[in-house]
Amino acid sequence: MRRLEFVERPHLRPRRLRRTAALRRLVAETRLSTADLIAPLFVAEGVSAPAPISSLPGQYQHSVDSLLAEVTRLVDLGVSAVTLFGVPQVKDARGSGASDAEGIMQVALRRLVAELGDAVVLIPDLCLDEYTDHGHCGVVDEQGSVDNDKTVERYQEIAIAQARAGADLVAPSGMMDGQVGAIRHALDGEGFFDVGILAYAAKYASAFYGPFREAVDVEIVGGGDRRTYQQDPANRRESLREVLLDVEQGADIVMVKPAMTNLDVIADVASAVDVPVAAYHVSGEYSMIKAAAERGWIDGPAAALEQLTSIKRAGADMILTYFAGELAEVLDA
């Protein structure tokens, strides 16, 4: 019997490079390391000890003291960047706490800078939804709609407050038109030329944000949504337009959110811009893995590694993920 053609042609046997773990590691096209990871963390007023977040197993609303301990642990593991979300005790219509020098975010930033210095990159979220009593990401007008320009003015005030407290990068996440240019102008006007902007440039109105909303105690009054300012998940070309506008306005890093449902967008952005690209592996993506793993349906850590590797393979230079601390224990530095 004639042998199969592919056996007669030994150069057509790619499996030979998969034979051992060492060989697979040698030829891996994509490498994920702790240097690629940014850990999202929550810091809350009125909390004296870490408070578990039920829909985000393993994640907590931290006190300033426990936040410092967690960031120190992450730095020791090789994770060199964190993004912070503040949870105030008091909220109002304009989100005053977001720019208050004594607000929870600014207090936490000053403490981290004092204790850790340049050992960690501090990236506070720059938005209003955590701080407003109506739950929107901006200032709401008399008709109940988010006023783009008044919101951008508030973002300028928040950026300056965060820069004064020690932020390395500010991360505007509200998807307001012109937000990046306005924030860059405000920072430069106050002499904060070295404070960068990580822009949520392609942020979709996603169903995967639910656990995050619990983590920051946010609910839109009246049952509204953010579809007038966040992107429609049906649109792909629009995302590139948003990203290019942010780069033109001075974004130092651009981000796609969520990550797993937008691998095509990550690839588009990575091939179109010459600034670093971030992707946010969001709360719902994390919690689904945790829930399935708890039921014994999947290998949780293996699934997390596979998803994050695919995000990097798509073109992301850095990944915001709630798995950062967990995976840092098994990844190379």
DSSP letter string over 155-202?
A: HHHHHHHHHHHT-SEEEE-S--TTHHHHHHHHHHHTT-TT-EEEEEEE
CB-side exposure of 186: number of CA atoms within 13 Å? Answer: 21
The more confident residue out of 222 and 86 is: 86
Q: What is d(CA 31, CA 50) in angstroms, rounded to the nearest whole number?
A: 33
Q: Where are the domains of the chain?
A: 31-328
Please write the tens of the pLDDT for every residue from 45-66.
999 999 999 999 999 999 999 9
Determine which one of 91, 150, 203, 312 is catalytic.
203
Cα dihedral across residues 87, 325, 112, 200: positive or negative: negative
Average pLDDT over residues 93-112: 96
Question: How is residue 227 written in tokens?
Answer: 């579809």
**30, HSE (Cβ side, Cα atoms, 13 Å):** 16
Q: Which of 60, 56, 86, 55 is nearest to 73 (CA)?
A: 60
Partnered with residue 92 across adjacent β-strands are 132
Spot the catalytic one: 91, 150, 257, 290: 257
State the Cα–Cα distance between residues 294 and 288, nearest whole angstrom.
Answer: 10
Q: Is the pLDDT of residue 8 over 60?
A: no
pTM score: 0.93
Q: How far apart (Å, rounded) are the C-alpha atoms in residues 203 and 119?
A: 29
pLDDT at residue number 304: 98
Catalytic residue status for 150: no
pLDDT 10s digits, 223-271? 667 778 889 999 999 999 999 999 999 999 999 999 999 999 999 999 9
Q: Does domain 31-328 have CATH number 3.40.50.1000?
A: no
Q: How confident is the model at residue 11 (pLDDT cuts 50, 70, 90)?
A: low
Q: Give the rounded distance of the alpha carbon of 259 from its chain centre.
A: 10
Structure letter (DSSP) for residue 309: H
Contacts of residue 181, Cβ cutoff 8 Å, sequence gap at least 6: 249, 250
pLDDT of residue 84: 98
Q: Which residue has the tokens 């009054």?
A: 221
Cα atoms found within 13 Å of the Cα of residue 116, Cβ hemisphere only: 27
Mind listing the pLDDT tens digit for each residue in 123-164?
999 999 999 988 788 888 888 888 999 999 999 999 999 999
The angle subtended at Cα 192 by Cα 94 and Cα 279, nearest 5°, is 70
Q: What is the mean pLDDT of the chain?
A: 93
- The DSSP annotation for 260-299 comes to GGGHHHHHHHHHH-SS-EEEEE-HHHHHHHHHHHHTTSS-
> Is 257 part of the annotated catalytic residue set?
yes
